[in-house]
Structures are given as C-alpha cells and as structure tokens.
Chains A and B, each alone.
Chain A
Amino acid sequence: MTVAAIDRAPAAVPAGLARGRGGGGPASKRVVVAYGFWIFILGDMVMFSALFAAFAVLRNSTAGGPTGAELFDLRNVFIETMCLLVSSYTCGLGALSAERRQPGRFLAFAVLTFVLGAAFLFIEVSEFARMVEKGAGPSRSAFLSAFFTLVGTHGVHVAGGMIALIYLVAQVLAYGLPAAVLRRLLCWSLFWHALDIVWVGVFTLVYLMGDWH
C-alpha cells in the first residue's frame, strides 16, 4: 500500500460502521458534544459516590439522636420520586420536540419539566425544614450530616438544572432552534436524566434501606 493510498480518506463508508472507533470518519457534532458532556456527568457521579460512601459508613452513627426510620416519610419520598421520573419523561419529550423543530411543544414540555422539578424541590425543602424544626438538623449526628450533605447536594443539582432550563428557554425564545441551541438542549437533558439516576441511588440507599433496619 502506498502512502498516497493511506492518505486518502475512505470514499464510501458503509452505513453503521463503527464511527466510535474512527472507522467511518469523524463523528457528528452532537455525538462529540454529548461525549464531552458525558465525561462531565461521570465526574459528577464520582463526586456523588464519595457522598454515598460517607452516608453508607455513617448511617448508624446517630449519636443517640433520631434514626432514619423515625424521621423519613416514605409517602413524600414516593411523590418526590414520581415528580422526578415524570419530569425526566417530559424533558425527553421536550428534547425530541425541539429536534423535530416544534418550538411550541418544546416550550410546553419545558414548563411541565420546570414545574415538576419545582414540586420536587418544594417537598424536599419542606421536609428538611420539618426535620430541622424537630431538632434533627445536620449538626445533630454524623448520620444527619451525611444525610443532609448527600440529599442536599442532589437538591442543589436539581435547582441548578432548573436555572439552566430557564436560560435555555430564553435562548430558544431568542434564537429559535438552530443546531447550536439543540446541542445545548441535548446536554441539558443528559444532565437532567443523570440526576434521576442519582435519585434512584438516594431513595434506595437512604430511604428504603434505612427504613428496613
């Protein structure tokens, strides 16, 4: 094989060839952008894993204070979970509508996603306030410090996601749905779905397994 032959780009590549391994030429922009954002999400997951580990280690260190079984209201946790799940669904449908260039539908789904996220945060914050009022704040025991850090960090992520959603809706209103805005939306929906995955870990480890003791 001559150098010229190696140098030439492959002319016709069969569809479905593994672009991820470089076989079919450069990947599309949305794949490149989503990959970069995926790395960020995995970094975030590693951070959460440290908080999960701290909680798992400290869950029984209640220092004579209230335990999880006494504090948690599973009915609220279930409602919170449903809020997040359905908001993930509306977020996905919103991203799909945006890709299909239907700005009206996108805005409707974005509002729904925002409202469900706000409902989740409202329930969480009022639960926190109720616990602090009962004297079960983060300074009561190592268990509660770990609980507030883990669940609070997830809540802060949800709040950050909602602020980012406002910013994205403003961009859609200002610029419409060009490719660059669509890619930002794609990253945002990855972020929102990833928060749901973290929440699955939270309700399993913190609430359900805590209650079993």
Chain B
Amino acid sequence: MTDRHEHVLDDRTPGVEEHESSATYLSYTVGLALAILATIASFVVSQTDLLWPPGIPVGLIVLAFAQIGVHLVFFLHLGSGADSTNNILALAFGVLIVFLVIIGSVSIIASLNSNMMPMSQ
C-alpha cells in the first residue's frame, strides 16, 4: 500500500475487526425467487377477478408487506441474530413514524373532505 492511499483507507472507524458475513448466493437466489413470485401475484391480483373485487386493495397491501419482508430478510439480512438487534429496533421506530404519517394524513384529509360544504351550495 502506498502513502497516496493512506488518507482514503485510514481506518478510524469504531468497532473491532471484521468478520465475514453469513450471506450466500443461495439466500439471494431464494430472495429473488420469492420477490418475483410476490410481484407477479400482485399484478395478477390487480388485473383479474381472482380475489373478491372489493378485497383487492387489501390483497395488494398484504402482498406488498410480504414482499417487503422478503427484501428485508433475504437482501438486507435482517434476522434474529445479535447483530440485527439494534437495526430492528431502529426499523420498528421508522415503521411507527411512516405509519403515523401515512395513516394520519389519509384519515385527517378524509375527515376534512367529508365535512366540506357541498360545492353546489
């Protein structure tokens, strides 16, 4: 290693030495297969009457959550291991905020809409 490289690779990152990750080619391949399956299922459900039509949005949301779960486990390697503990706590907080923002906005605006004076009067 030459001196020129030292500023780039100067290692002041906190933590102890590295260990190899436990990911394998297989886990990515399984993840890809499951994700493609969920995607195809979403498109099929939205385009056909396979599900009871009023239930389609719910079905789509369920499939989206399933696919996000697949991505988190197989691509982002969130698991039950000790290394994931803090990441999962942070994720739980993130999910709380995301749900507050989305569900809160939708329900507040829906309530305002239903209390609007009719436009014709």
Interface residues of A (CB under 8 A from B): 16-21, 24-35, 38-39, 42, 45-46, 49-50, 52-54, 56-57, 74, 78, 81-82, 85-86, 88-89, 92-93, 95-96, 99, 171, 174-175, 178-183, 190, 193-194, 196-197, 200-201, 203-204, 208-209, 211-212
Contacts and interface: CB of A to CB of B under 8 A. Distances in A.
Given A85-B35, A96-B25, A179-B11, 19 more contacts: A18-B85, A20-B85, A21-B85, A26-B15, A29-B17, A30-B15, A30-B18, A31-B83, A38-B87, A45-B94, A45-B98, A49-B101, A85-B32, A89-B31, A96-B28, A181-B9, A200-B67, A203-B42, A208-B60
B86 A81 contact: no
B113 to A, nearest CB: 9
10 contacts: A28-B19, A30-B18, A38-B90, A53-B106, A56-B105, A74-B46, A178-B9, A190-B76, A193-B75, A212-B60
Q: At the interface, is chain A mostly helix, strand, loop or mixed?
A: helix
Nearest to A53: B105
B116 interface: no
A75 to B, nearest CB: 10
A86 B97 CA distance: 29
B16 A27 contact: yes
Contacts of B25: 93, 96
Contacts of B63: 204
Nearest to A23: B82
Interface string B31-44: 11001100100110
Contacts of A19: 82-83
A143 B68 CA distance: 26
Nearest to A48: B98
> Which 8 pairs across A and B sit closest by C-beta, in order of nearness?
A20-B85, A42-B94, A53-B105, A29-B15, A208-B46, A49-B98, A32-B15, A204-B64
Give the most central of A24, A57, A78: most B CB within 10 Å. Answer: A57
B47 interface: yes
A164 B63 CA distance: 31
B93 interface: yes
B109 interface: yes
